[in-house]
Amino acid sequence: MCIMSSVNTITALCLLAMVVCVAGHYKIAAFNIQTFGRAKMDKPDVVNIIKQIVLRYDIILIQEIRDSSGNSLKVLNNTLNTQEHFSYTLSPRLGRSSNYKEQYAYFYRTDRVNLVATHLYDDNTPADVFEREPYCTLFEIPEPAPWKLALVGLHSKPDDAVEEIGYLNVVDAEVEAEFNTTNILFLGDLNAACNYASAAELSHTEIFTNSDYSVLISRSKDTTTKSSTCAYDRIIAKGSRLKSAIVSAGVFDFKSAYSLTQQETVVVSDHFPVEITLSSSL
């Protein structure tokens, strides 16, 4: 695969993203990088695309990490730090099967936000609801005056998506108690669409119906890079301070943004990132 013709476009967009940050906004995203590991990170062109995507954001949740050695994340972090100041926090390896496990990672700009705490949801109950327990972080947003924002990352098991989504209000209560904040973003590949979660099924879940929560990525969006049209990936907000800061939310179509072919796109992932922009000028 050769995508060098796209490098100039990517670089220009990366510079634009950094200008947006300086102009007074915080950008947060969730990205399921399909089977993220050594095989993917051995492809320089793919690494370059992932790097430019991550550079768009102040905080980004990466899902479906499969490299048990952790080397792929170190390579990505080192690559990011050739241009900017990034660090990351990594969850334990999660999953019921001994043969298949995933991890979550939050990459963040250390000169823009402060990581305060992390918390893995305690799913040690007979119900054992989650295949991969939500990995939660608490960040301090410094401007205009410091405030705290919690992020709850989830990659649901497709066949159990409705049940897992239906339990997020319980996770919410634990996160509020753990982090002492009501400003919470739920984000990730919830598999909240198409055959895995119908509109009727989601209408029975607290997080999709209670007015305390705002669903920022609607069912009409397409978060997939292949032929399906499904809003698997979602961002849901709770908390008055957070909601008052929301400028926009949407799907980042890196295929169009970077003028990639379909083949070049799917080698990166079968998902697009979902993103939210927050104002820092309140």
* pLDDT reported for residue 221: 97
Which has more confidence, 23 or 245? 245
Mean pLDDT, residues 53-61 taken together: 98
Whether 22 has a pLDDT exceeding 60, the answer reads no
pLDDT in tens, 127-169: 899 999 999 999 999 988 899 999 999 999 999 999 999 999 9
> Domains in the chain, ordered, with CATH?
4-279 (3.60.10.10)
Q: What percent of the chain has pLDDT over 70?
A: 91
Determine contact, residues 80/110, Cβ cutoff 8 Å.
no
Mean pLDDT, residues 169-195 taken together: 98
Q: How confident is the model at residue 17 (pLDDT cuts 50, 70, 90)?
A: very low
Mean pLDDT, residues 193-211 taken together: 98
* pLDDT reported for residue 14: 46
Q: What is the pTM of this model?
A: 0.92
* pLDDT reported for residue 44: 96
The answer, yes or no, to whether the previous bond of 146 is cis (omega within 30 of 0) is no
Mean pLDDT, residues 53-67 taken together: 98
Query: How does the average pLDDT of the chain come out, rounded?
Result: 92
**Rama region for 188: left / alpha / beta (φ>0; ψ in -120 to 50; rest):** left
* pLDDT reported for residue 282: 62
pLDDT in tens, 242-264: 999 999 999 999 999 999 999 99
Mean pLDDT, residues 113-129 taken together: 92
Residue numbers annotated as active site = 102, 155
* pLDDT reported for residue 143: 80
Determine contact, residues 68/99, Cβ cutoff 8 Å.
no
Q: What is the dihedral of CA 51, 133, 112, 57, to 10 degrees?
A: 40
* pLDDT reported for residue 125: 75
